[in-house]
Amino acid sequence: MRTLLTGGIKSGKSSHALVLAGEFPEPRSFLATAQSLDDEMALCIARHQSEREGRYLTIEEPLMIHERLAENMVLDCLTLWVNNVLYYEKEAHFEPWLDSLVKGLPRNIVIVTNEVGMGFVPQDALSRRYGILLGRANSRIAAACDRVILMVAGLPLIVK
């Protein structure tokens, strides 16, 4: 089943993604978009790796996620993927990459993302552009998924 798992920061998305993906047949893979650019992110990545305890083949890919899709996968996360698109100044590739991602979704995948547009409108143009791109990605992926779950305070709420 194609599942989009969304919610706020630290709402339990990544942990719940592993629970859902645990129902997939083996082998399972984990497509990580995060990069260790500072000590805080390195600790976060290490914590997530320990949660997987070797149960997943980990694939690290910050940009070309559409080329690394596989059956029985967790993709964590679209939020950092959009960040990477902007960070590496690849915004011109965003729509074609998103098209390829949507068209290439395997039957069994859990995709993690954040709901950043539920709060205030950012003051700076880059942050507003980021919110627009992430909202577009979330909408397109949600439409292509069989199930959408919103995590609120660690609780999964079925949206679709």
Residue ranges per domain, the chain? 2-158
Is 93 in the active site?
Answer: no
**Which pLDDT band, with edges at 50, 70 and 90, does 45 fall under?**
low
Residue ranges with strand state E in 11-158: 29-32, 57-60, 73-76, 109-112, 147-152, 155-158
Pick the catalytic residue from 16, 48, 66, 93. 48
Pair 97, 88: CB distance under 8 Å: no
pLDDT over 80 (residue 99): yes
- For the chain, the first-to-last Cα distance in angstroms comes to 12
Residue % of the chain over a pLDDT of 90: 74
The pTM (predicted TM-score) of the whole model is 0.91
Helix (H, G, I), strand (E, B) or coil at 56: coil
2-158 domain in CATH 3.40.50.300? Answer: yes
